Amino acid sequence: MLVSEFDYHLPPELIAQEPLEKRAASRMLHVRRETGEIHDGWFREFPDLLRPDDLVVFNNTRVFPARLYGHRKGTRAQSLSPRNPASRDFLRGKVEALLTRQVDEWDWEALVKPGRKIGIGERLTFGEHDELKAEVVACGEFGERTLRFRPVPDFFAAVEQVGHVPLPPYINRDDRAGDRERYQTVYARERGSVAAPTAGLHFTPEILDRLRARGIETAEITLHVGLGTFQPIHEETIEQHRLHREWYRITPEAAEAVNCVLQAKRRVIAIGTTAVRTLEWAGRNGKIEAGSGETDLFIYPGYQFRVVSGMLTNFHLPKSTLLMLVSALGGRDLIRRAYDHAVEEKYRFYSYGDCMFIE
């Protein structure tokens, strides 16, 4: 299957650069695979479209300010005169690191810019006053680097102080203070993601109350969004691509809730592609298994879903693994038609954009 089959044209002005003033005010495209119907609607209608015996599953991961700006520290810095700032700037070139996965207490995988110039043994400092210091100790197969940070009393407190919200590159502005709240779901609990599970950004406490008022059951799982969710595909065919692994956890309570629903042949509705991938990985043997681990499950058309019957999702980039997952659930031709319709009707796309409910 060619990656080019999942391309589409998107006018740049449809890429949402800012969140709406109200989270639940977004539009929602309702897609029904059984009938091939596509309906324009609003996200606030979502609770009313669910069945009372549905189980809605959320990814409760929490985004942290994982983008760090700093400098390379030259190995010859000690031989330079401190009165020569130009020389110091030459050796301390600017660098950007996006922390994507914690591999040990002080070791993190990261995407580093300028990547080709940053080799093993390079020393980096981050923050206005060099609050964080790290050494590059390994290079990975996906272009990532492993950074070993010098121990500090509270690593995440330092990251919160010097880090930036890791807005996606298609948002053409610097992050602002307001993004720390808006690029986060209202039910975020477990810190560890470098990108928001964006389908959940539309929910408000009032919408969650409406779900409970209808008697709709909910459950929470965790998948920390990392490199695997947004890494680009460089191969020509889908089958050649491999996903980077991401960490997940499913509690015994969540596993029991999902398994009871499956046994009763009721629907599991996942909020976002990350929830879909986690549920399908944990349920690949026909029953959800509680526990934690890593998943690199790549879902594309032809995949047989074992757990998920429907999902809420935002609109995704052309030729992305996320668009392929959505096409697997909704049907490739129907999703292509839905995206063409969304472009024609000027829906807002990507992380801060509108959403789609696929049954």
DSSP line for 4-71:
GGG-----GGGB--S--SSGGG-EEEEEETTTTEEEEEEGGGHHHHS-TT-EEEEE-EEE---EEEEE
Strand order in the sheet with 37-42: 37-42, 27-32, 355-358, 310-314, 268-271, 55-59, 217-223, 246-250, 291-295
pLDDT bucket at 50, cuts 50 / 70 / 90: very high
**C-alpha–C-alpha distance, residues 321 and 299, integer Å:** 8
Two tokens at 279? 């549920």
Give the mean model confidence (pLDDT) for residues 223-237.
83
Rg of the chain in Å (alpha carbons): 22
CB contact at 8 A, 93 and 77: no
The set of residues, in sequence order, having a beta carbon less than 8 Å from that of 120 and lying 6+ positions away, is: 136, 137, 138, 139
In tens, the pLDDT along 85-95 reads: 444 443 458 99
The confidence score (pLDDT) of residue 61 equals 97
Length of the chain: 359
**C-alpha–C-alpha distance, residues 39 and 356, integer Å:** 10
Domains of the chain (ranges; CATH) run 3-63+179-358 (3.40.1780.10), 67-162 (2.40.10.240)
Coil, helix or strand for 356? Answer: strand
Runs of H (alpha helix) within the chain? 46-49, 85-91, 155-162, 179-182, 205-213, 227-230, 252-263, 273-282, 321-330, 332-344
> Residue 200 above 70 pLDDT?
yes
Give the residue with greater pLDDT, 91 vs 179.
Answer: 179
Report whether the peptide linkage leading into residue 153 is cis, meaning its omega lies within 30 degrees of zero: no
Smallest Cα–Cα separation from 139: which of 113, 117, 125, 119? 119
**C-alpha–C-alpha distance, residues 233 and 197, integer Å:** 20
- Phi, psi (degrees; rounded to nearest 5) at 293: 170, -155
In tens, the pLDDT along 335-350 reads: 999 999 999 999 999 9
Burial zone of 10 (CB within 10 Å; 0-12 exposed, 13-18 middle, 19+ buried): middle
The confidence score (pLDDT) of residue 244 equals 84
**C-alpha–C-alpha distance, residues 187 and 202, integer Å:** 11
pLDDT bucket at 74, cuts 50 / 70 / 90: low
Give 71's strand partners.
Answer: 94, 125
> Residue 75 above 70 pLDDT?
no
In tens, the pLDDT along 260-301 reads: 999 999 999 999 999 999 999 999 998 999 999 999 999 999
Does the predicted model carry a pTM greater than 0.75?
yes
> Residue 229 above 90 pLDDT?
no
Two tokens at 192? 């560890």
